[in-house]
Chains A and B, each alone.
Chain A
């Protein structure tokens, strides 16, 4: 468990690097604000990004976390990114960059320290597990992103319905359609 131990020990630094990858999407002039403000309610972007990635990081390095919790953490960050002005790749892409971070800052360090073939093999096995977990998150994120976008489109349609619900009810009654509709629905 060399790699996992390293990733666990250096969590604060590596997680912050990952969080920064997500912050890169925001205008630089204000990125200081999302980083520095710690208030739950006045910095929702920072809050969601930090708390979600914290859970996802633990899941990736093999901590024992309820799958439902992992899913909801992923859903929260994707939900946030899905309505911000960015391309889909930029919205969910930084998820995959955890691979780069782990390769550069954990795997390569471990490889230098444990460069006999037996340990290297173990390290690669560990990395492949991590790699496949990130792939799984990425696939889930793809589905979530797509359903979030559909949700926004639906919200637009539903809003139009809601805004004139009684006028439509009135118009239907006027045309004598209400009764007919009830019959067909029944």
Chain B
């Protein structure tokens, strides 16, 4: 009789006991689906990266440059001198483990090296060996280890299982910013010529053409015009946005995902409708046509370069300030790094002041750049918009606090004030999964490449799990957010874990609710889907009278009800 293994044998855990080796000796494994594709040599070379070469993560030999150890040593030394924060982060961790179960990748994968403390320890152990006396003398006893090629592979594996969302930092008693440690590890890897394609292609496109897909000015303009045609179809109002025009007060820069990708386009349509309605003096630019800073996923220098482009364009066009779209990492860069990268801003720029409400955005006095969510929240606060939230009554909406604008920038109340004004049905996700404790979408900071979809589903599980809670208990069918990467990442995450929940930006909901002067009664939302409660038919002369003056009255009434 053939000898078959028993089912227990087949299902036996591997490894069958606790590993007999410490974490330092366990080598990373690369199987398809667990790593993002490497950057192309030619693209890396064109961007001026040193040691650009062809390699593949699953290969034994990564073709590292001959002096790879020297590169890492010098690279780390230079960064320790440059960033005092890095030195503090390397020295102060007491391995208390407060961060361990805060990382969505650890929660979704259960891989111990995805605990932020251990992920940081991958670099810290190298630091100890070369830069601390205890590590030099005591070696492993002091938590130090000598560099070898497997460590480079390990750094690559785990630097790309961190979305730099900084949830762990929130819980660290020392305030260690693991995201910055990840950023430094990625920089060091780029020094060795190791990058990922999903990040480098957009960086190259932004650098050369101005947006992440490399869409040239004529096509960019025509695509925006398509969206204007769609707006006209829905509202009967023709919008003709200015491009590259000098002398306008405001330069509007959106993440380009809002122009090219579903469902971001509906958010962009919302911006255009809002600007038209309030008569904003603005221009779009086909050169600074990307608000997202993909350079921030590569290195501080690349982030600085792409950031500078926006300000050069503001200077060229003579704009007083920049109004930025619903973007995530753009705001991390603006809020945390921009002033030291490229400050001060060009002389033509002024502290942003809303031309409609007169509010001065003092918080943006250094950067001269305002997040559109702040801008619109201010309009609503001053009753400057005429809104009909019933147009969003087919939606029960929840709010995903996008890590960068929320946790890194403190933008918590503004989006909620907008959502409450434009939607009648708003439900918060559970405590400890929102606001500063928000769970990451699972694929930020350059991880939303399709080849690691399984990994993304694991990393996004904590977010999806909280969304499923409100979908099950409150019938939520829409998750809104203020980040273009979220709008790209959340749709597959929701499709997999919480089917039936769609994703949208905040200004899509604003665009739906916004009553525009001279518009036709709306029967469709911005997605051209039939409204559950279409606008009542009204006489033409009534529409014309229905101006901004009525807005405050209607809102006051709404508030009393």
By a beta-carbon cutoff of 8 Å, the part of chain A in contact with chain B is: 21, 24-31, 33-34, 37, 40-45, 47-48, 79-80, 83-85, 89-90, 93-94, 96-97, 100, 148, 151-152, 155-156, 158-160, 162-167, 169-170, 173
| CB-based contact B432/A27 at 8 Å | no
Q: What are 15 of the A-B contact pairs (CB < 8 Å)?
A: A24-B13, A28-B19, A41-B462, A79-B497, A84-B458, A85-B109, A96-B7, A156-B453, A159-B492, A162-B262, A162-B491, A163-B261, A164-B261, A165-B261, A167-B223
Per-residue CB contact flags for chain B residues 461-477 toward chain A (1 = under 8 Å, else 0) read 11001100100000000
Q: In the bound complex, do residue B110 and residue A26 qualify as a contact, i.e. CB atoms below 8 Å apart?
A: yes
Given contacts A166-B226, A170-B219, 8 further A-B contacts (CB under 8 A): A26-B110, A27-B112, A28-B17, A30-B115, A97-B8, A151-B495, A159-B448, A166-B223
Q: In whole Å, how far is B199's beta carbon from the nearest beta carbon of chain A?
A: 14
B94: interface (CB < 8 Å): no
Q: Tell me, in angstroms, the Cα distance from A84 to B455 when the chains sit together.
A: 8
B223 cross-chain contacts in A, Cβ below 8 A: 166-167, 169-170
Q: Residue on A with the closest CB to B214?
A: A167
Chain B residue nearest to A90 in the complex (CB): B11
**Complex contacts, A40 vs chain B, CB 8 Å:** 430, 465, 469
- Contact call A93/B7, Cβ cutoff below 8 A: yes
Question: A residues within 8 A CB of B73?
Answer: none
B112 near A159: Cβ-Cβ < 8 Å: no
Interface centre among A41, A79, A155, A163 (most CB of B within 10 A): A41
Classify the interface of chain B: helix, strand, loop or mixed. helix
Q: Is the CB of B101 within 8 A of A37?
A: yes
A29 with B18: CB separation less than 8 A: yes
Q: In the complex, A34 Cα to B262 Cα: how many Å?
A: 36
Check A93–B430 contact: CB distance below 8 A.
no
Contact B496 A42 (CB under 8 A): no
A93 with B11: CB separation less than 8 A? yes
**A35 vs B107: C-alpha distance when bound (angstroms):** 12
A60 to chain B, nearest CB (A): 17
Q: Which residues of B contact A166 (CB under 8 A)?
A: 223, 226-227, 259-261, 265
Q: In the assembled complex, which residues on chain A have CB atoms less than 8 Å from the CB atom of B261?
A: 162-166
A162 to B466, CA, bound (A): 25
A48 to B461, CA, bound (A): 11
B contact residues around A26 at 8 Å (CB): 110
